[in-house]
A and B are shown apart, each in its own frame.
Chain A
Amino acid sequence: MSDQSPAHNLVFGMAGSGGDGIVSAGDSLLQAAAAEGYHGVMTKSFGSQIRGGESSCRVRISTDPILNPGGNLDVAVALNWEDFLKFGAELPVSGTTVVIYEAATLIPPDRIPLVGVVPRQVIPVPIAQMAKDTAGTERAKNTVVLGLIAGWFGIGAVAVMKGIRKKLAKKGEELVEANQRAFDAGRAFAMANPLKVNMNIVPSETKGAVKLITDGNDMCAAAAIFAGCRFFGGYPITPSTEIMQFFTDHVWKYGGSVLQAEDEIAGIGAAVGASFAGVKAMTATSGPGLSLKTEMMGLATIAELPLVIVDVQRGGPSTGLPTKNEQADLFAAVFSAHGDVIRPVLAPTCVADTFRITVEAFNIAEFYQTPVIILSDQEISQRKETLDPIDTRQFEVIDRLEPSAIDLKDYKRFAPTENFISPISHPGMLGGTYLASGIEHTESGAPTNSGTVHARMNEKRTRKFEPLKDRKDLFEVLGNPDAPLAMVAWGSVAGVCREALQMAQEEGLNVKLMVPYLLYPVAEGAYRDFFASVRKGLIIEQTHLAQFHKLLRMHLDLPSGVRPLARSGANPFLPGEIVAALHNLLSELQRRHEGKLQPQE
């Protein structure tokens, strides 16, 4: 409600102890919302422990399409305050928030431990007691919460129980009935204790339409299989592991296979081998694993083998923040290698476009015979979104260039060609045998120490990417294309900026937003065009060192009024925060005009 009118958009934040079923409740709520035709985004966050500890989820439901988990909460649910407060700015409560909390905490409504905030309404509810009374177990607390939500906000009155019924059907009618009673009790409590302000969400116009619900990791894996990937080699690491899990569930059905390797190096090594054998291959990891995979990425670069590497970023360096979001692997994705390497790096901005970007990553890997990194992040990878169905047939799938019969007569694997891309054979292909190697090689693949050959091969391996920079479809510009005020953002932060753009425009700012999907090689032309009209701007990113800002400045001169809005994870940017930063920029400009401030540079 902080962002849009209450009736169209609600943000729920819930926190409790591990085992309270918080995330499961969020899932049920999102599914119910989808069934009732709403758009939704759900993120979850945990402490870094297995059981016990704290867990939270945030569910945003809207009548309109949304691409971020929203700002301040409209509804906060605290099963206990200790756990809720651990999430700090991830679950921001404001003056418009309705706070629901477990009455058994014995904290009076005027003494809740939220410092400096007076919520719109604070309601203690004996959630645990109601669960016990109706279902005979406190484990039904999450179902009581869903009943409260159905009663107060008008979401899920029918669909929630339908979902629960389906989920629990195997476990027996008794359990279903117990949950039905818990749900009804929650709903009845809400009816009997109406809110001060009506916060019922308006009915969706698309009720009953088919919606997909998935997260970025599953979407990435499904897209990879669609793109023809038939081998996955990897090693479990949060928050990328679900990609491997999806492969182990499904890739066999399509004649492919998956290897849970002994370490990150073996995982990518097997993928390199599979690619050499002629099969589209992928590995997925997070920052610490990317560090380990670096040598193999260099190998695939010099051997010119297609390979897709997904790096689902989390906070770093080292083990850092394993379960929380950051965008700080950018430099690692772009630069981590020795020698002269250009490695395409692509970034999706939401679950939906993860499909397109993943297919594109395979196409680029195959066409250019190169490793490609998909720079995803924890936010996209583990958040669930409701999506409209995607017509997969509109996506072209590209395969690597194989040698023709003429090529195979006197086959040279690394033959010089006009576009620097040579036909690639694979074992089993008669006439195509060659030596792939990490050592520098001649056109035929023979090892060499020649500096001349090395220079020529470096040119081949880097110049082949030039056309990639002209791919206008890998950039998006929103807002007024001639605006003097600009934002640039990538990855999950771009989703927040789309909403910030809308807010800023509603506040009368003449502003535009660039969302790059191709981060590297830096497409200088696309940025030059974009910045031509710009006097002031923000490069918005979740890094401490303003990595993207620096990367752009390595490649082009930015207008002097363009500066980074960069900060560490894990707390997400809020649209309002970005709009405020835009206003600051403008007032600074104003003051400079009035001569109160000397130009910076």
Chain B
Amino acid sequence: MNGTATCEFQPKDYKSDLKPIWCPGCGDFGVLQGIYRALAAIGRPPHEIAFVSGIGCSSRIPGYTTAYGFNSVHGRSLPIAQGIKMANPDLLVLAAGGDGDGFSIGGGHLAHMVRRNMDIAYIVMDNQIYGLTKGQLSPTSHKGLTTCTSRHGSLEEPVNPLLYMLAYGAGFVAQAAPTDLAGMATIIEAAIRYPGFAFVNIQSPCVTYGMEEQQIKGLKAMQESLEALGHDSSDRLAAMDLAQHYGRKLHLGVFYRNPEPPPTYGDLVKARQEELSKNALPVENILDLFIKK
């Protein structure tokens, strides 16, 4: 399990000296605050945390923490995070990025991340637009959206990240928004504590290329707490039902949490290492494997 408190930490202990490049009013500021709070609640010291991202506005986020950060290349946070976790299962490994990073260029990694069930929490800041490259269509942009790469309106349906994750079989799927900071921090904390792969989609509006202020107000109006709805988060089918409202309704909370988490990939790796190490030749003698008697 990722989170075991070792000593007392405050959110500020996870705040680095770097100043975010985000535009004033960007939802990602809120996400960052939520991450600080969640990490403080868990209490792992920063040097035991590896925080990996891809590319994009949101992917700058590891640099704003005091953890070991890796701001990698577009779409590849998850493979890198998996390598880190396999190399050192004792680390708390977080991955983060945006909707383009996660569902477009990196979309191929999602299903396999879920299959391997590594104990990694993945936080996507979903703003339905490409921000850092100045406002192109993203995989979660709604159909018909006019952008500089879709001057006449997009012709594609958006992907539904929540439904994807539930369909792939993820053990923890949640959605949050920085408009509910406390709720978001709790959800991120729960995702990190979940023993296995956990996914949090955060509706983090882009104030520059995405939503007008009016639309952000509309987003707030769409907000609805899953808890208040009385949703049973151990019911995957019910979760899938609710997830279909992605884009029309902003459900906040835990869609699904596997009540009986299966062993993580790390557990299985450890068991295999223990079982097979009994038959190891000293590494200096490894070439003896090639002697044909």
- In the complex, whether B112 has a CB less than 8 A from a CB of chain A is yes
Contact of A437 among B45, B71, B112 (CB under 8 A): B71
Residues on the A chain within 8 Å of B66, using CB: 433
Interface residues of A in 49-88 (CB under 8 A from B): none
- In the complex, whether B84 has a CB less than 8 A from a CB of chain A is yes
Residue-wise, chain B 238-267 has the 8 Å CB interface mask toward A (1 for contact) of 000000000000000000000000000000
Closest B residue to A395 using CB positions: B284
- In the complex, whether B6 has a CB less than 8 A from a CB of chain A is no
- A231 near B276 with CB under 8 A, answer no
- In the complex, whether B272 has a CB less than 8 A from a CB of chain A is yes
Complex-state Cα separation, A226 to B283, whole angstroms: 6
Contact of A269 among B60, B79, B277 (CB under 8 A): B79
Residue-wise, chain A 210-254 has the 8 Å CB interface mask toward B (1 for contact) of 111110001100100110001101000000000000000010111
Knowing A266-B112, A270-B80, A274-B83, the reply to whether A214 touches B47 (Cβ < 8 A) is: no
Complex-state Cα separation, A369 to B70, whole angstroms: 16
- In the complex, whether B205 has a CB less than 8 A from a CB of chain A is no
- A392 near B287 with CB under 8 A, answer yes
Residue-wise, chain B 270-288 has the 8 Å CB interface mask toward A (1 for contact) of 0011011101110111110
Contact of B91 among A252, A259, A263, A427 (CB under 8 A): A427
- B82 near A259 with CB under 8 A, answer yes
Residue-wise, chain A 438-453 has the 8 Å CB interface mask toward B (1 for contact) of 1100000011000000
- B48 near A427 with CB under 8 A, answer yes
Contact of A257 among B18, B60, B91, B273 (CB under 8 A): B273
Complex-state Cα separation, A390 to B79, whole angstroms: 36
Complex-state Cα separation, A557 to B73, whole angstroms: 39
Contact of A296 among B76, B109, B292 (CB under 8 A): B76
Contact-residue size bin, chain B (C-beta under 8 Å from the other chain): 35 or more
- A226 near B80 with CB under 8 A, answer no
Complex-state Cα separation, A428 to B18, whole angstroms: 21
Residue-wise, chain B 47-73 has the 8 Å CB interface mask toward A (1 for contact) of 111101001000010110011111111
Contact-residue size bin, chain A (C-beta under 8 Å from the other chain): 35 or more
- In the complex, whether B26 has a CB less than 8 A from a CB of chain A is no
- A438 near B73 with CB under 8 A, answer yes
Complex-state Cα separation, A314 to B273, whole angstroms: 34
- In the complex, whether B155 has a CB less than 8 A from a CB of chain A is no
Residues on the A chain within 8 Å of B280, using CB: 253-254
Contact of A447 among B60, B80, B109, B283 (CB under 8 A): B60
- A433 near B67 with CB under 8 A, answer yes
- In the complex, whether B46 has a CB less than 8 A from a CB of chain A is yes
Complex-state Cα separation, A250 to B280, whole angstroms: 8
Complex-state Cα separation, A263 to B72, whole angstroms: 17
Query: What is the total of A-B residue contacts with beta carbons within 8 Å?
Result: 203
Q: How far is the CB of A445 from chain B (nearest CB, A)?
A: 8
Residues on the A chain within 8 Å of B25, using CB: none
Complex-state Cα separation, A263 to B90, whole angstroms: 26
Q: How far is the CB of B152 from chain A (nearest CB, A)?
A: 32
- A279 near B88 with CB under 8 A, answer yes
- B286 near A225 with CB under 8 A, answer yes
Residues on the B chain within 8 Å of A31, using CB: 292
Closest A residue to B75 using CB positions: A265
Name the residue among B48, B52, B68 with the largest chain A CB count within 10 angstroms.
B68
Residues on the B chain within 8 Å of A259, using CB: 82-83, 86
Knowing A273-B82, A273-B83, A427-B91, the reply to whether A446 touches B63 (Cβ < 8 A) is: yes
- B108 near A262 with CB under 8 A, answer yes
- A438 near B84 with CB under 8 A, answer no
Closest B residue to A430 using CB positions: B47
Interface residues of B in 75-102 (CB under 8 A from A): 76, 78-88, 90-91
Closest A residue to B83 using CB positions: A273
- In the complex, whether B167 has a CB less than 8 A from a CB of chain A is no
Complex-state Cα separation, A355 to B286, whole angstroms: 11
- A231 near B292 with CB under 8 A, answer no
- In the complex, whether A579 has a CB less than 8 A from a CB of chain B is no
Q: A355-B287, A428-B88 are in contact. List 13 more A-B contacts (CB 8 A).
A: A31-B292, A210-B291, A213-B292, A222-B290, A273-B83, A273-B85, A274-B84, A277-B84, A433-B66, A433-B68, A436-B68, A437-B63, A438-B71
Q: What are 30 inter-chain pairs, A to B, with CB distance below 8 A?
A: A35-B292, A211-B291, A212-B291, A214-B290, A218-B290, A222-B290, A226-B283, A252-B277, A253-B276, A257-B87, A259-B83, A265-B79, A266-B109, A267-B79, A269-B76, A269-B79, A270-B86, A272-B79, A273-B83, A277-B84, A277-B87, A389-B287, A389-B291, A392-B285, A427-B88, A433-B46, A435-B18, A435-B71, A436-B72, A439-B71
> Which B residues form the contact surface with A (CB < 8 A)?
18, 45-50, 52, 55, 60, 62-63, 66-73, 76, 78-88, 90-91, 108-109, 111-112, 269, 272-273, 275-277, 279-281, 283-287, 289-292
